[in-house]
Amino acid sequence: MYDTILEQLKTKFPGVSEDILGRVAKKLAGTAKTEDEVKTAVDGVTFQQLLESYGDSRANDATKTAVMNYEKKHGLKDGKVVILG
> Mean pLDDT per segment of 10 residues, for the chain of length 85 residues?
96 95 95 94 96 93 95 90 76
Instruction: Count up the domains in the chain and report the number.
Output: 1
- Identify the pLDDT of residue 81: 87
- 81: part of which helix (H) or strand (E)? strand 80-81
Tell whether pTM > 0.85. no
Query: Contact, 81 vs 75, CB < 8 A?
Result: yes
Per-residue model confidence (pLDDT) at position 31: 93
φ/ψ bin of 77: left (φ > 0), alpha (ψ from -120 to 50), beta (otherwise): beta
Q: Write the single-letter amino acid at 29.
A: A
Could you list the residue range(s) of the whole structural domain that residue 71 is in?
Answer: 2-81
